[in-house]
Amino acid sequence: MHLWPLIALSQNEPAIAAGKDIAVVQTEYGAVRGYIHNGIYTFKGIPYAKAARFMPPEKPAPWAGIRSCLAYGPVCPTTQSTSFSDEFAFAFQQNPGHSDEDCLNLNIWTKKTGNGEKKPVMVFLHGGGFASGSSIEYPSYDGENLSRKGGVILVSINHRLNVLGFLDLSAYGKKYKYSANAGAMDIVAALNWVKENIANFGGDPDNVTIFGQSGGGAKVSCLMNIPSAKGLFQKAIVQSGSYLTRFTEDSIAKKVSVVLLAELNLQPSQADSLQKIPYERLSAAGLKALKKVEKTLKTADMAAFGLEWGPVRDDNFLPYQPGDAKAIALSKNVPLLVGTCKNEYNPFIPGARGISMDSARAKLHRKYGDKTEAYFAAVKKAYPETVKPSDYMDVDLIFRPLAVAQADNKAIPGAAPVYMYLFKWQSPVLDTLFKAFHCMDLPFVFDNIQRCEEMTGGGKDAYALADQVSQAWINFAKTGNPNSKGLPAWPEYTPENGAVMLFDNKCEVRYHHDKELLAIGAGE
């Protein structure tokens, strides 16, 4: 049964304990002081590295005395933040934080510190692609409840993004050798910090799970391909983030830099001036360069969503493309939990809300032609509860196939297990406008229904499902197996069985439940 966060607290005890000698922990670089909130030790804005613009991350400078880590640190600057309508802004309750290029910091939530305990560690990577977002962007990212419930240590990080993290300047000097993947190197640096320091917070450095949603899931996929990250984590969870099907080739990344310099009227010999140019000008030039170079490329040269800021295959830090045999071998022994939401981005697409069945049929006919009736039958077979015309319009057929492909590639003989899920619970808020859209799973994973009532409604059904979903994530972090009490038996996924856990008010396992639907969506 789910317990409200404050039930166990005495009314005579303050919710927050903070003071000179409270929640002090020693790290390799100096002592940090956090606070205790409702029994959870909380540390915010701990520096895990430092870096000059375009340079690889270095270990943070040691400090004397005790460093106060009570408030969130800076987030990476971005000019690409998602713009929401009023209704979706209401659901997300976005917090932009304060930005600074000195943003390599992390946050920790834990029940206890030290004492020789070895609690499982869960390192969360935020969404926003590789261009925007932060560890504090949404209220669902708060790690207190998950730490309290599961006895896990929750870590979230900020790192360099967009042009600051993924501009390939390697053609302009040896010092820029790693600039193309500086943002990904930051994440590896954070995992190294966890390896070195998390035991002092009560964590097990040899039982680390990396997990992320959307762009965070793509970062998890990226880390599974990075040789220097091997051994820094033992399990991986990809939530709606299987779209990173290809890293940008360094030849393409170098073209982006050439165009960026031209946009700024700079000669190649003036590349060093990029270290000082104001961020807004640099970012604007970078976005123009991406668009111009993208127009010259073939679809096969890009990831699923086109040419964006992101990891670069470079023969040094990131030598393999996803799917290469050597890349698969790197993470062969890492269990994977992967899945998507039923409706993902489709609720953002205008035209489905309140549509009539005749209009829905006409729109779908323009897309599927003589396969339209087969499409309707396939949707009904996959999701028997389908009734409204809009339910036929907004089933995700973009993220789900990519997740299946990732699971198929990972589930090879002799490898660690793969488990697949599909989150299909429909939010009742705003006349079910949000459905199971992109990010809807986050409040359930983090057991943060109360913090995210605008998205979930905060009803009993939401709390009940969050109890099941969060426990599955906790169990996976502990053992590599998400099976938990209250859920039906969850088998390992294989390409042959197509097993998927459907998360809803009644959770169930089905096998190839949407095989026909995916085939139609793929044009087969």
d(CA 5, CA 369): 52
Is 484 labeled as catalytic in the residue annotation? no
The C-alpha atoms of residue 182 and residue 101 are separated, in whole angstroms, by 12
* DSSP H or E segment with residue 210: strand 203-213
Per-position DSSP letters for 222-250, written without gaps between them: HHTT-GGGTTS-SEEEEES-TT---PEEH
Closest CA to 271 of 254, 284, 247, 250: 254
144: annotated active-site residue: no
Alpha carbon 375 to chain centroid distance? 31
- Amino acid identity, position 227: P
CA distances from 40 to 37, 125, 285, 387 (A): 5, 21, 44, 44
Cβ–Cβ under 8 Å, residues 436 and 343: yes
Nearest to 433 by CA among 396, 391, 384, 404: 391
Of 147, 438, 454, 470, the catalytic one is 438
Work out whether strand 235-239 and strand 336-341 pair parallel, antiparallel, or are unpaired. parallel
Distance, CA of 495 to CA of 512 (rounded, Å) = 9
What DSSP character marks residue 21?
T
- 369 CB contacts (<8 Å, ≥6 apart)? none
Kind and range of the H or E run holding 378: helix 372-382
Query: If you search the block for the tokens 């096998």, which residue do you land on?
Result: 511
Computed on alpha carbons and rounded to an integer, the radius of gyration of the chain in Å comes to 23
Catalytic residue among 135, 156, 179, 214: 214
Q: What DSSP element (H or E) covers 470?
A: helix 460-479
Pairing state between β 336-341 and 418-423: parallel
Residue from 137, 308, 344, 454 carrying the catalytic annotation: 344
Q: List Cβ neighbours of 453 (8 Å cut-off, separation of 6 or more).
A: none
With beta carbons less than 8 A apart as the criterion, state whether 455 and 92 touch: yes
- Residue 77's nearest CA partner among 100, 104, 52 is 100
> 97 CB contacts (<8 Å, ≥6 apart)?
72, 74, 75, 134, 136, 137
**Cα→Cα distances 149→124, 471, 478, Å:** 16, 8, 13
For residue 319, which amino acid is it?
P
Eight-state DSSP code of residue 315? S
The C-alpha angle 142, 143, 146, rounded to 5 degrees, equals 130
438 carries an active-site annotation? yes
DSSP string, 144-163: HHHHHHH--EEEEE----HH
Please enumerate in sequence order all residues whose Cβ is within 8 A of that of 366, keeping only pairs 6 or more positions apart, or say none: none
Please choose, from the candidates 320, 188, 330, the residue with its C-alpha nearest in 3D space to the C-alpha of residue 246: 320
Could you list the active site residues? Answer: 214, 344, 438
